[in-house]
Each structure stands twice: as C-alpha cells, then as structure tokens.
Structure 1
Amino acid sequence: MNATIYHNPRCGTSRSTLALLTEAGADVTIVEYLRHPPTVAELARIYARAGLSPREGLRMTEPAARALVDASDADVLKAMAIDPILIQRPLVETPKGVVLARPPERVLAIL
C-alpha cells in the first residue's frame, strides 16, 4: 500500500507513525513539510479527505496559532502554507483516507 506522511523528523509522534507505516509494509513517501510546505489547495484537499476543518489541523501549541482562533478556514490554510510549523502532525494519506495520526495508532485505520 502507498502512503504519504507529512513528517517532522524531530517529532516523536511523527517518528512513531512512520515506524508503524514501515512495519506494516507500506511504500511510504515522506514529505518533510517544514522544508516543503503543502500549498493552500493541497492542505484544503487533505483536510477535506480527513473530514477535518483546517482549525482542527492547527497546531495550537504554536504562539502564532493563537492569533488564528477566530480566523476563517481560508485564512488558517494561508497561514499554514506560509508558516508550516502551524500544521499539526503527522498527517498520513493512503488510498483509504487521511488521518491526523495522534496517537500514531490512528494510522492503522487507513492501512
């Protein structure tokens, strides 16, 4: 099975999710989203497939996220594309769907 993980190698949850994907035998494409941020359109597509609002994908522990509490979905997506640290991780996409893998075991539902 093919899987794409929007990954931060410094994040323990992201590393654990990647390990689960590898152990399951998935053919994994790793997107280091901090180096190669997804576009607004790509983020919108991913969140729609996951059934999440952009706000639900916002990493609220980041100081810049607090300014987006009352922002529109479009503004949240723009902010994420400009400053990808605002994207909650890891996002994983397979042909079966998309999950925000928090906890990492959530990824098993789309394998």
Structure 2
Amino acid sequence: MTTLYHNPRCSKSRQTLHLLEEKGETIEVIKYLENPPSTQELKQVISLLGITPKELVRTQEAVWKETYKDKVLTDQEIIAAMIKHPILIERPIAINGTRAAIGRPPEKVLDIL
C-alpha cells in the first residue's frame, strides 16, 4: 500500500494520484491540509525522504515569506511551523513501506513502488 499526502487543489498532487492509480496501487490518501500530520509523523516522513526539514518547506508560500523567511530556525522550529501551517509542507508525498518520494515531478514516486 502507498500512502499519499495529497492536496486535491494541486495539479502535481492530482497527477501523482492518477499515476499511482494507473499502476494499480492500493492508496491511502491523506488530505494533509484537513488532517495534518503530528510532529512525530512529520519527522518520520522527513527521515524516510532523507532530507532536512527545510527541504520540505514550500518557501514561496505567503505565510513562510511573511513569518519565517528571514529568521534563523532550528529543525524543530521548522517542523513546528509546518505543523502550525500545513500549507508549508511540500506536496505530494508518497510513502511505500520504508521508502518515500516527493512527487515533483509526479514520476518520481515510481522509484518507490
């Protein structure tokens, strides 16, 4: 089963979902803006992706630019910002077992199937 952190309003997220469906994957869709991950879940996702918390931030979002852009933040503070403002979490994120990928481009998720 593949878990997909999904935003239906995002074209890349919709394309990734469609691609997984085409591959016949069983998919657990998490609409993360409605059901944000816990701090522990987000840390696990970051670990599976093998990236830093900052690399998961959508830095072009208004809330990031207005509130966090020019600050020096710890990883914990960056994670807290994403929990408080889930719109800051890059999307889509696909998780299959112990492997994860950000679907940008959507085809990157094929690497974890």
What's the TM-score, normalizing by structure 1?
A: 0.94
Alignment-mate amino acid for residue 85 of structure 2: D
1:59 partner letter:
R
1:20-57 Cα distance to aligned partner (Å, 9 max, x none): 11001110000000000001110011110110111000
Q: Which runs of 5+ in 1 are unaligned?
A: none
- Mapped to 2, the partners of 1:99 and 1:65 lie a distance apart of 23
The alignment partner of 2:91 has SS state of coil
In structure 2, C-alpha distance between the alignment counterparts of 1:88 and 1:65, rounded to whole Å: 12
Q: 1:52 and 2:51 equivalent?
A: yes
Higher mean displacement: 23-32 or 57-66: 57-66
Structure 2 residues without counterparts, runs of 5 or longer: none
How far apart, in 2, do the equivalents of 1:96 and 1:84 lie?
A: 23
Off by >2 Å, runs of 4+ in structure 1: none
Shift of 1:96: 4.8
What's the TM-score, normalizing by structure 2? 0.93
Aligned residues: 110
Cα displacement string for residues 44-75 of structure 1 (whole angstroms, at most 9, x for unaligned residues):
11110110111000011112223155211101
Q: Let me know the Cα RMSD of the aligned residues.
A: 1.1
